[in-house]
């Protein structure tokens, strides 16, 4: 997740575990120029205890293929194609959710990536651009490109994050596809996860915001199936926050560190009603040192944790 799913978050999540694989935040592929210099910044130097995929976003057939190839050389285990980003700066360049306006073109972009690498290629999409009139066409065009599976976030670009995700569209896509389908959108707890699996018959789940709010959600879902109880303790949360904090680059200014921590804590303070009540005191805290922010947040978390 762009702006959140950085190295600090990935390392912190790695210390918790419970999920099968993860995808890095997207890398923009320009419409002209050379991808090598861009991809250089995208070195897979993390020893992740889970398969870590790269996500690319762009609309130039050749450059998307070239970028995938460069990233493959740098150790990515899978390439995911972004057909969902709603940001106007992205869609204005024909990338992200803009690809959903033209199923044939979406197919060509995906095909170009599939044919450029040996590692698996997957595709993440929304249900449409302005509406869902091309939904079926897009789903089938994606499958036809040769991608190994599709992740569906069933909102249109126009929806943004507003209305509830339309899980019925996940069920519809599942009935259309031969390749596996990963369902995504609005899973915040175990009950949501079970409901999505049951009502859509999707093959797997992808959880975004729910994992920033509650990093233990994956273990909790697993625990439902294994029958082995999993109850995260406050110390587990402390350890997660410690790993996150220790991964923040030293050369970052204190102000940026404080804002970064506020962003993460802003999600964690949505975990339950008691924490939601205290959330604004975190977001508006006048701290110049990130340690002061933690000193303010930790007692509140301890008091109200689960
Ligand atoms: C801050 C933020 C950043 C995101 N960045 C990406 C991204 O880089 N690539 C992507 O495919 N989806 C991105 N998404 C969308 C999520 O992956 C996901 O599809 C969406 O949030 C719905 O799922 P959720 O309810 O589990 O969060 C982002 C969402 C948010 C809130």
pLDDT digit string (tens) for 72-131? 988 888 999 999 999 988 787 899 999 999 999 999 999 999 999 999 999 999 999 999
Q: How far is the CA of 5 from the centre of ligand 1 (A)?
A: 9
Nearest CA to ligand 1 atom 6: 1
Which residue CA neighbors atom 3 of ligand 1 most closely?
Answer: 1
Q: How far apart are CA 186 and CA 194, in angstroms?
A: 12
Which of 154, 188, 208 is the pocket-test mutation for ligand 1 (most atoms within 8 Å of CB)?
208
pTM of the model: 0.94
* Distance from the alpha carbon of residue 208 to the mean position of ligand 1, in angstroms: 6
- Residue 69 appears among annotated catalytic residues: no
**Cα–Cα distance for residue pair 20/156, rounded to 1 Å:** 27
Exactly one of 8, 40, 69, 85 is catalytic; name it: 85
Token readout for 280 is 């604004």
d(CA 246, CA 238): 12
Contact 219, 17 (CB under 8 A): yes
In this prediction, residues 198-209 reach a mean pLDDT of: 98
SS3 of 193, please?
Answer: helix
Picking from 240, 226, 229, 225, the residue whose alpha carbon sits closest to that of residue 271 is 240
Which of 32-36, 103-107, 284-288 is modeled with the greatest confidence? 103-107
User: What Rg, from alpha-carbon coordinates, does the chain have?
Assistant: 20
| Pick from 8-17, 100-109, 173-182: least confident | 8-17
Q: Which residues line ligand 1 (CB under 6 A)?
A: 1-4, 25-26, 55, 82, 84, 124, 153, 184-187, 207-210
Nearest-atom number in ligand 1 for the CA of 153 is: 19
Instruction: Please tell me the residue having the least CA distance from ligand 1 atom 7.
Output: 1
Q: Which two tokens stand for residue 229?
A: 């109880």
């Amino acid at each position: 997740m762009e702006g959140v799913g950085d190295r600090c978050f990935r390392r912190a999540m790695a210390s918790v575990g419970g999920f099968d694989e993860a995808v890095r935040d997207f890398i923009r592929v320009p419409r002209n120029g050379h991808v090598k210099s861009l991809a250089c910044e995208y070195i897979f130097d993390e020893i992740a205890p889970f398969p870590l995929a790269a996500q690319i976003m762009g609309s130039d057939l050749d450059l998307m293929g070239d970028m995938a190839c460069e990233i493959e050389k740098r150790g990515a285990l899978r390439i995911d194609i972004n057909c969902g980003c709603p940001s106007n700066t992205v869609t204005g360049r024909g990338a992200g959710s803009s690809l959903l306006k033209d199923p044939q073109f979406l197919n060509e972009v995906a095909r170009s990536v599939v044919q450029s690498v040996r590692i698996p290629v997957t595709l993440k999409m929304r249900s449409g651009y302005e509406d869902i009139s091309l939904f079926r066409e897009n789903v089938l065009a994606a499958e036809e490109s040769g991608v190994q599976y599709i992740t569906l976030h069933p909102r249109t670009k126009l929806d943004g994050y507003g209305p509830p995700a339309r899980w019925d569209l996940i069920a519809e896509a599942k009935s259309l596809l031969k390749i596996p389908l990963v369902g995504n959108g609005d899973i915040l707890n175990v009950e949501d996860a079970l409901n999505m699996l049951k009502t859509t018959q999707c093959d797997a789940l992808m959880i975004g915001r729910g994992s920033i709010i509650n990093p233990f959600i994956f273990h909790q879902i697993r625990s439902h199936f294994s029958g082995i109880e999993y109850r995260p303790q406050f110390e587990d949360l402390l350890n997660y926050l410690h790993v996150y904090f220790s991964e923040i680059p030293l050369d970052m200014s204190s102000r940026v560190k404080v804002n970064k921590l506020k962003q993460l804590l802003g999600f964690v303070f949505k975990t339950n009603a008691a924490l939601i009540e205290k959330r604004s005191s975190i977001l508006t805290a006048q701290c110049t040192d990130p340690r002061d922010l933690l000193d303010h947040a930790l007692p509140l978390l301890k008091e109200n944790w689960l």
